[in-house]
Every structure is written in structure tokens, then in C-alpha cells.
Amino acid sequence: MLLASVACTLLFTKQLWEGFGAGNLPLIAPLLAPVAFAAFLAIYTVDRWILIRKRNYPVLRAFIQVAVSLVFLTWLVQSQSRQFRAASEVQAKPKVTSSLLEHREARVRAAACELMGLRGEIEVAVQVEALALGDRSDQVRARCSEAVAALAPNDSSTAKPAAAAPPVDTTPSEAPAPSELNQ
């Protein structure tokens, strides 16, 4: 467990968080290293306690070993927290949001279509229309059709003409100028 958590932490942490940020990995994937180390630390602490009780293992030595491991775990959790915040920010970017239209799950594609329609993101209208016409899921086609209607530009030829405004008289009036009234 210790070797697996160290390997994941030192070698793969950046790639795992990038994968989570892009939406390709679940949250548990980048958190495996700290979870594995925490499990190791729990077992290690119990082992040190048993050694102290049964074999007269030096208490100070066991305490220092567990304390150093706790310091490492604290650093690891703080590092993972920073990486989680950064990956969450990446997920919130519009490009990542529009990539959900290509997700493997139908419910995610349907929600992405609905979101694009509510946001009015015209730049993805072609993708949304393609899903509305050709997705294998009825739910996705229905929601994408609604989104296409929301994203459709208002065409002046199909819109009702506005009621004509009443004519306004623009001829100069015969009334005296305001400066002449005060005299």
C-alpha cells in the first residue's frame, strides 16, 4: 500500500487530476493515493502500538515514525485539495462544458443540450442540432430539439411584423421660442 500510494503521488498525480478536470476520470481516481496512504498509516499505527505493548518497542521511536507519516499525510491532503480546486475550475470552463455533448452517457448528453440551450451558446448549435437529429437516445433527441429551438436565430422573414407606430408630427411649431416668453 505504501509503495502504491507513493508511486501514484509522485508519478501520476498531475495526470490523474488533469484526467478528472477533463471529465475523463471519476473523482476517486486521483484520490486513491491519499486514501491508500491513510489506510497504510492506520495499519502502521496499530502495528507500532502492538510492537510497543508486546515486544517493548521504544515508544519515542514509534511516536516519531507515526508523527512523520502524519506530517506526510497532511502535506498530501493539502496538495490534493489544491489540485482538486484547480481541476474543478477547469471543469467549469465553457469548452469543457460543451465537450459533455460527446459524453458516453445519454443523460449527460441530454443535460448538456439543455444547458447549451439555456445558456444560449450559439457556437455549439451545430453540435446540438446533430444530436437532435441523430442521437440514439430519444431523451437526448427531445432535449436537443428544444435546445435547437432556443438557439435558433430570430429570422425576420418568419417573425410577425410589428404594429406600425403612429405618425409623429415633425414640423416646427408656430409657438414662440422660450426666450421670447420671458420678455
- Judgement on whether residues 80 and 118 belong to the same structural domain of the protein: no
Cell of 18: 488533469
pLDDT surpasses 90 at 64: yes
Q: Which residues contact 140 (CB under 8 A, 6 or more apart)?
A: 106, 109, 110, 113, 131
Give the pLDDT confidence of 97-142 residue by residue, as tens digits.
677 787 888 888 888 888 888 878 777 888 888 888 888 888 888 9
- Judgement on whether residues 37 and 117 belong to the same structural domain of the protein: no
- Judgement on whether residues 9 and 77 belong to the same structural domain of the protein: yes
174 found inside a domain: no
Q: Which residues contact 86 (CB under 8 A, 6 or more apart)?
A: 17, 21
Q: H helices of the chain, where?
A: 2-7, 13-21, 28-55, 59-91, 94-99, 106-119, 125-134, 138-151, 178-181
pLDDT surpasses 60 at 183: no
- Highest-scoring range by mean pLDDT, 101-110, 147-156, 157-166: 101-110
Q: Which residues contact 123 (CB under 8 A, 6 or more apart)?
A: 98
Parent domain of 134: 95-151
- Judgement on whether residues 141 and 83 belong to the same structural domain of the protein: no
Pick the residue with more confidence: 20 or 50? 50
Give the pLDDT of residue 161.
47
180 found inside a domain: no
Give the pLDDT confidence of 6-31 residue by residue, as tens digits.
776 777 777 888 788 777 778 888 88
35 found inside a domain: yes
Average predicted confidence (pLDDT) for the chain: 78
Please state the domain count of the chain.
2
Give the pLDDT of residue 157.
44
Taking the C-alpha atoms of 171, 176, 179 and 182 in order, what is their torsion angle to the nearest 10 degrees?
A: -150
